[in-house]
Amino acid sequence: MRETMLQDTAVAPYDADSDDKRVALGLVTEAFAEGCLDGLDGDCMAQAALFAAFQELVATYGEEAAASYAEGLPERIRSGGFTTALQH
């Protein structure tokens, strides 16, 4: 069940309609902005956030499921799944 839940999210966009996910994203975004305001490089914050996220995914779903999830990221990135600003 856990592996299936993780794999389902690998192909679906982030479900911003979920109240819990919306709140969680807001908290992460605030922490990211606060770190940048404290002088931490945005790249450093991004890498730390990714590390923490994958650490949690591995702890929750296991290494194989987390690796399978990560395999879908290149296509999601290239298709604009994480793009928030208009591109020129």
**Count of H-run helices and E-run strands, the chain:** 5, 0
Enumerate residue ranges in the chain where pLDDT < 70.
Answer: 1-17, 86-88
Per-domain residue ranges of the chain: 17-74
Strand extents, DSSP E, the chain: none
13 vs 34: CA distance, rounded Å:
26
Mean pLDDT of the chain: 84
Q: pTM score, two decimals?
A: 0.70
Nearest to 53 by CA among 65, 44, 66: 66
